[in-house]
Amino acid sequence: MARRRQLYEGKAKILFEGPEPGTLVQYFKDDATAFNAKKKGTITGKGVLNNRISEYLMTRLAEIGIPTHFIRRLNMREQLIREVEIIPLEVVVRNVAAGSLSQRLGITEGQRLPRSIIEYYYKNDALNDPMVAEEHITCFGWASTQDLDDIVALTLRVNDFLTGLFLGVGITLVDFKLEFGRLWENEEMRIVLADEISPDNCRLWDAKTGEKMDKDRFRRDLGKVEEGYQEVARRLGILPEAGPRDMTGPEVMQ
Ligand code: UDP
DSSP per position, 163-210: HHHHHTTTEEEEEEEEEEEEEEETTEEEEEEES--STTTEEEEETTT-
Distance CA 163, CA 247 (A): 22
* 181 part of a folded domain: yes
Beta strand 89-96 with 112-122 is antiparallel
Question: Residue 109 C-alpha to ligand 1 middle, in angstroms?
Answer: 14
pLDDT at 254: 56
Regarding the beta carbon of 212 and ligand 1, being less than 6 Å apart is answered no
Give me the domain span that covers residue 12.
4-84+225-239
Q: Are 93 and 117 a contacting pair, CB within 8 Å?
A: yes
Query: pTM (2 decimals)?
Result: 0.94
- Check whether residue 8 and residue 71 sit in a common domain: yes
Domain at 147, CATH number: 3.30.470.20
Distance CA 159, CA 119 (A): 13
- Check whether residue 106 and residue 24 sit in a common domain: no
Domain count of the chain? Answer: 2
- Most ligand 1 atoms within 8 A of CB, residue of 103, 177, 213, 214 to mutate: 177
- Check whether residue 41 and residue 106 sit in a common domain: no
* 253 part of a folded domain: no
pLDDT at 15: 98
Which residues of the chain are modeled with pLDDT < 70?
1-2, 240-254
pLDDT at 244: 42
pLDDT at 201: 97
Question: Residue 214 C-alpha to ligand 1 middle, in angstroms?
Answer: 11
Q: Are 58 and 178 a contacting pair, CB within 8 Å?
A: no
pLDDT at 243: 46
Domain at 61, CATH number: 3.30.200.20
> Quick one: which atom of ligand 1 is closest to the CA of 100?
20
- Most ligand 1 atoms within 8 A of CB, residue of 113, 123, 201, 202 to mutate: 201
Distance CA 148, CA 161 (A): 20
User: Which residues are CB-contacts of 8 (< 8 A; sequence separation ≥ 6)?
Assistant: 14, 15
pLDDT single digits (tens) 175-202 = 999 999 999 988 999 999 999 999 999 9
pLDDT at 127: 97
